[in-house]
Structure 1
Amino acid sequence: MKSIARKFQILVIATCLLGITAASANTTNEKNKVNFSIPADEVTGAWEYTVENVPYEYSKGVLMISKENKEYIVKVQLQHGAINAENVKVKDNVITFTVNVEGSNVSVTLNVDGDKMSGESSSYDGNFAIEGKRMQPE
């Protein structure tokens, strides 16, 4: 009988020790978790884009959108050079700007939704649909 009681005591102690170890391991994990949030600025970054029904050299490129001193800067990278945008405005997830292409002003309005953007450009030649996606770091 003493043998069974002794085994039972050892079993109870072992169970308690395992329970304490498991509880402290769980507590340690909770303490080691780092909770942080990255400020959400939906529009900044590098965006690959395409434009429909325009000359080939303007049909695709990369928009570089950054923010310096609370002002947004847009640079349009084309196959044969870059164009700096003017009159850049951002409200919520909508960005508007103008670029000068071959002496003509082109107004651009883009709606950003996560890693995708869509909108249109307007010039004396008409309105043209734009689609884009955020470029991911390699």
Structure 2
Amino acid sequence: MKKLLVVIFMIGIIPLSGKSLGTASVKEVIGEWTFEVPSAPYGYEKGTLVISEKESELAGEVKFADGYKIQLKDLTFTDGVFKCGLYVDYEYVKLTAKIKDQKMAGTVKTSEGDMELAATKVKAKE
């Protein structure tokens, strides 16, 4: 009987532990990131990605150096890889980046070709 109770307890705990690990990993991407895309057209080469969680889903926007803001679409973060899209001058571009140690490195796919992106997470003010 005790073995049966232990097995039932373990079956109940395993899904909960997996869910908490997923939540912890999402926290890696949430926050403010300063980015550079050196080959992007003037005005789009630097800015800030602001990523948050709203109603258990990722949300965000990109703020360019001149103050122009664009909402991010289709945000996902799985296995250390962040993906999203955004409309820049009526063109939908896709961003894919790996996150490791407060750094983001990836590619922005555009009609003009792939452009390298590098970003660093901004430390929270205390």
Distance between the aligned counterparts of 1:90 and 1:69, measured in 2?
Answer: 15
Q: What is the match of residue 129 of structure 1?
A: 116
Distance between the aligned counterparts of 2:60 and 2:104, measured in 1?
Answer: 14
Q: What is the match of residue 6 of structure 1?
A: none
1:52 alignment partner, one of 38, 41, 56: 38
1:89 alignment partner, one of 76, 79, 84: 76
1:109 to partner: Cα distance: 0.4
Q: What is the match of residue 61 of structure 1?
A: 47
1:43 alignment partner, one of 15, 29, 32: 29
Question: Could you tell which deviates more after superposition, 126-135 or 52-61?
Answer: 52-61
What is the root-mean-square deviation of aligned Cα atoms in Å?
Answer: 1.2
- Aligned identity (percent) is 25
1:116 to partner: Cα distance: 0.5
2:43 is paired with a residue whose SS is helix
Please, what TM-score do these two structures have when normalized by structure 1?
Answer: 0.68
Q: How many residues align?
A: 100
Distance between the aligned counterparts of 2:65 and 2:106, measured in 1?
Answer: 21
1:98 to partner: Cα distance: 0.7
Structure 1: stretches of 5+ with no match in the other structure: 1-38
Distance between the aligned counterparts of 2:110 and 2:60, measured in 1?
Answer: 18
Structure 2: stretches of 5+ with no match in the other structure: 1-23
1:58 is paired with a residue whose SS is coil
Please, what TM-score do these two structures have when normalized by structure 2?
Answer: 0.75
Q: Point out 4+ residue stretches in structure 1 off by more than 4 angstroms.
A: none
2:91 is the counterpart of 1:98: no
Amino acid in the other structure paired with 1:48: T
1:56 is paired with a residue whose SS is coil
1:85 to partner: Cα distance: 0.8
Distance between the aligned counterparts of 1:69 and 1:92, measured in 2?
Answer: 21
2:57 is the counterpart of 1:71: yes
